Amino acid sequence: MSKLDTSYLFALFLIAFSFSVKGQMHNNFWTRGIVGVEIAKNLKLDNEFQHRRQNGFENNNPFDKNLMFTYRTWLHYQKSARLKFSLSPFSYYANYNIILDEQGLKQSRNEFRFAGAIEMNQPITQKLKVFQRVAAEYHLGLNHNQNRMRVRTRLGLSYDATPVLLVLLYDELLVNTFGITPDHIFDHNRIGLSLAYKVMPSLTIETGYLFINRLLLLKPTMVYENNMFVNINYTIF
Number of domains making up the chain: 1
Does residue 221 carry a pLDDT above 90? Answer: no
Which H or E run includes 155?
strand 148-162
Quote the percentage of the chain above a pLDDT of 70.
89
Q: Range of 184's domain? A: 3-236
Comparing C-alpha atoms, which of 215, 98, 201, 119 is closest to residue 168? 119
* CATH number of the domain within which 156 lies: 2.40.128
Q: What is the pLDDT of residue 7?
A: 53
Comparing C-alpha atoms, which of 191, 237, 195 is closest to residue 12? 191
Residues 6 or more apart whose Cβ sits within 8 Å of residue 95: 67, 68, 108, 109, 110, 111
Model-level pTM?
Answer: 0.87
Q: What is the pLDDT of residue 20?
A: 39
How large is the average pLDDT for residues 213-234? 92
What distance in Å separates the CA atoms of residue 9 and residue 187, rounded to the nearest whole number? 17
Q: What is the pLDDT of residue 220?
A: 79
pLDDT band at 77 (very low <50, low <70, confident <90, very high): very high
Q: What is the pLDDT of residue 11?
A: 52
Report the relative pairing of strands 165-178 and 128-141 from DSSP bridges.
unpaired
Quote the percentage of the chain above a pLDDT of 90.
76
Residues 6 or more apart whose Cβ sits within 8 Å of residue 57: 99, 100, 101, 102, 104
